[in-house]
Amino acid sequence: MKAIIIGAGEVGFHTAKLLTVEHNDVVLIDESEAACDRVNEQLDLQTLRGSGASPRLLKTAGIEEAGLLIAVTNSDEINILACQIAAKYNVETKIARVSNPDYFSTESGLTAEDFGIDLLINPERLCVEEFIKLLQVPEAREIVEFEDGRIQLVSFRVKQSNPLIGKPLAELNANGLLNDTRFPAISRRGPSINGKSATNGDRHIIIPRGNDILQQGDDVFVIGSAIAVEQLLRISGIRFNERLDSVIIFGASPIGIELARVLEEMDTNVKLIEADQTKAERASQGLRRTTVLHGNYLKFRLLEEAGITDANGFVSVTGDDEDDIMACMTAKEHGAQRVLALVQQPSYLPLLARIPRLDSAVSRHLTVVSNILRLIRHGNIISVASLHGIDAEVIEIAAGINAKIVHKELSHFKTKFPENAFICAIFRRETLIIPTGQSVIQPADRVIVFSMPEAIPVVEDLFAERRN
């Protein structure tokens, strides 16, 4: 597929990287020479320097043959105009990153379709949704949903008190403790000891088999129906916030303001701390029931006034990575139950797993990338979710009518299915199947696969419809 990406920032760069791994013909446009040079040094694709809203440049990029245009610059106007131009050339899928909600508000009377936009991405809203999910499951490190929330993938750190520790996964499954859930991956400290793992900083990623066991300190990923995942988390001692009574936000950034508004709608007691007096005054005028406090997170008296020890969570969203990480560490030191940080640089994510005082983080850029990829249907791939902190993806893929993977028990593919990938779930019409070796994938089944990037082409080949 021919794809044009406008904007070579972190979102554009990582989207292009993942699309090229899947053998798409990608052209990336950016006005910055340095940004284009970075792409040329690290990725095998064509770059063009200039405005993504230029009809001439878009024609040079091959817009007449393109099936996909993704506009993710920092300018809403350029992104919208690029999609309008793409619509004139009948590009099938047009995606725009638009932060300003005024463009398509009820009052404006305009819709994304009016501008030729098929899929609208609002980074602030997406990040807020991630923070809300993480606040509701306090010990979760990441939550990804499929099939309108019916299937959940949740990662959490294994505590010493977890009753699942030390027993082979096959034994736990036989005893009914896994309850129709699966562990597609384990992130474990220390060097790799077998060929089934991939390194991730000072951790390695294990694609577990039946004889693998959980250890204290593991970051594990569990997948299954939302109900079954919740039951397993409760068995593991993970608590849930049925209601968010109180949340403290540090930073009156656009994400901070939007998070406060959403929490207000949930009847949550919200305190927003902002170091800049002008921003604090503006936030106070724009929020209805949020208490806005002017000051710095380093002042313990201010944190105490905000009720730091009683709050369900402390969320730092200034947009400065160092400030957000330090604010969370300070809040944790002063008694915060749950601290979450916004992270701008995706390269920080593997490092954050080493900071014990930071419970979890949301990457603005990877959240947007993941949602873009989940909205693009190409080939038999329905959606793709990139995971934070580890180099892995979760793919929802449809089985072709005469694909190699269909009509045979999964045990048949023991040597043919990549070791660094794992079939997590099968969705047949409206029925969820947690697979075993005896399970058989049928044509048109929707299958959830956890995979390292290098295994994706092999997975695609197994599920692809073969031509006679």
Answer for the pair 412, 458: CB distance below 8 angstroms, yes or no. no
Check residue 253 and give its pLDDT: 96
Is 80 exceeded by the pLDDT of residue 212?
yes
The tens digit of pLDDT for each residue in 324-381 reads 999 999 999 999 989 999 998 877 776 776 777 788 899 888 888 888 877 776 667 8
Q: How far is CA 324 from CA 131, 139, 218, 260, 314, in A?
A: 14, 19, 25, 17, 11
**Which two tokens mark 291?**
């208490």
DSSP per-residue codes, 131-190: HHHHHHSTTEEEEEEETTTTEEEEEEEPPTT-TTBTSBHHHHHHTTSS-SEEEEEEEEES
% of residues, the chain, pLDDT over 70 = 96
Is 50 exceeded by the pLDDT of residue 408?
yes
Is 60 exceeded by the pLDDT of residue 255?
yes
Is 80 exceeded by the pLDDT of residue 318?
yes
Range in 191-205, 384-398, 451-465 the model is least confident about: 191-205
For residues 394 and 372, give the distance between their C-alpha atoms in angstroms, rounded to a whole number.
Answer: 14
Answer for the pair 466, 402: CB distance below 8 angstroms, yes or no. yes
Is 50 exceeded by the pLDDT of residue 182?
yes
What residues are paired with 152 via a beta bridge? 145, 224
Choice between 468 and 70, residue whose per-residue pLDDT is larger:
70
Is 50 exceeded by the pLDDT of residue 440?
yes
Check residue 385 and give its pLDDT: 81
DSSP state of 447: E
pLDDT band at 19 (very low <50, low <70, confident <90, very high): confident
Mean pLDDT confidence for 197-206: 66
DSSP SS3 for 203: strand
Choice between 281 and 371, residue whose per-residue pLDDT is larger:
281
Choice between 274 and 375, residue whose per-residue pLDDT is larger:
274
Check residue 195 and give its pLDDT: 46
Is 80 exceeded by the pLDDT of residue 193?
no
Check residue 378 and give its pLDDT: 63
pLDDT band at 468 (very low <50, low <70, confident <90, very high): low
Is 80 exceeded by the pLDDT of residue 297?
no
What is the chain's mean pLDDT, rounded? Answer: 89
Check residue 35 and give its pLDDT: 95
Answer for the pair 53, 61: CB distance below 8 angstroms, yes or no. no
Range in 147-161, 336-350, 449-463 the model is least confident about: 336-350
Domains of the chain plus CATH, in order, are 2-121 (3.40.50.720), 127-131+244-362 (3.40.50.720), 139-235 (3.30.70.1450), 392-463 (3.30.70.1450)
On whether the pTM is more than 0.75, the answer is: yes
Answer for the pair 375, 119: CB distance below 8 angstroms, yes or no. yes
Is 80 exceeded by the pLDDT of residue 98?
yes
Closest by Cα among 316, 323, 308, 321 to 341: 316
Check residue 105 and give its pLDDT: 74
Answer for the pair 217, 141: CB distance below 8 angstroms, yes or no. no
Answer for the pair 419, 195: CB distance below 8 angstroms, yes or no. yes
Place of tokens 């463009």: 103
Closest by Cα among 169, 176, 167, 223 to 196: 169
